[in-house]
Amino acid sequence: MIELFGASISLEPIWLTLQVAAVTTVILLLLGTPLAWWLARTRTRWRVVIEAIVALPLVLPPTVLGFYLLIVLNPNGAVTQFLRGFGFEGQLTFSFTGLVIGSVLYSLPFAVQPLMHAFESLSERLLDAAATLRAGTLDRFFSVVVPLSRRGFLTAATLSFAHTVGEFGVVLMVGGNIPGQTRMVSIAIFDHVESLAYTEAHVLSAMMLVFSLVVLTLVYGLNRRFGVKVG
């Protein structure tokens, strides 16, 4: 707990939010990179369907996604029971794990779309030239694709992190509002407003506003300077 501008601000929601955002961003980059590469290269008729599924969180109300995740990940659900067969003893809902799962699904398009646009902008001649030099598939990807798409990776990471920080509906449905365990910054602001603690709500909201402005300035600055597509 710290005193800031006359408000008593708990650091637990801030620390938890940063942890969830960091873990979510790493997972999204690991999962989103191969998915974005496949979407950028494939010519299958199912590409449109997969793209629509990936982009679904952009238009789907967060509470809807959170509700279905709550059903799927509940302690008696098939997913939890399956994991218990491998020794998993915890629970997925109302936990840090649940927060991460919900955040990964809800922020998926913010990682996949910038990466997909970056991959689509690559010249086929560069990949063909690397192939003529006997570079394997993985070698071409890490030595040619990744360096040329680094700004797409930066955009994806930045947007994923920022979007996770600002989540509310999904994390509230899946994680609940447990102090010190699942209460993130957005939920803490809601709590302060409900309890008429407007000074604390003002301070946390101002911090979120400044953070969001800095992130958007960075992303659009990259977009304007280097021609990186944001979404």
d(CA 16, CA 133): 47
The predicted model gives 10-19 an average pLDDT of 86
State the pLDDT confidence band at 94, using cuts at 50, 70 and 90. confident
The predicted model gives 31-47 an average pLDDT of 90
What is the pLDDT, as a whole number, of residue 99?
A: 92
The predicted model gives 156-185 an average pLDDT of 88
What is the pLDDT, as a whole number, of residue 180?
A: 80
The predicted model gives 80-87 an average pLDDT of 77
For residue 83, pLDDT over 60 is answered with: yes
Nearest to 155 by CA among 28, 47, 69: 28
Q: Which residue has the higher pLDDT, 35 or 147?
A: 35
Please give the model's pTM, rounded to 2 decimal places: 0.85
Average pLDDT of the chain is 84
For residue 149, pLDDT over 60 is answered with: yes
State the pLDDT confidence band at 230, using cuts at 50, 70 and 90. very low
What is the pLDDT, as a whole number, of residue 217?
A: 85
State the pLDDT confidence band at 112, using cuts at 50, 70 and 90. very high
Q: What is the CATH topology of the domain spanning 2-226? A: MetI-like fold (1.10.3720)
What is the pLDDT, as a whole number, of residue 229?
A: 45
For residue 215, pLDDT over 90 is answered with: no
State the pLDDT confidence band at 116, using cuts at 50, 70 and 90. very high
Q: Which residue has the higher pLDDT, 23 or 127?
A: 23
What is the pLDDT, as a whole number, of residue 13?
A: 87
What is the pLDDT, as a whole number, of residue 199?
A: 87
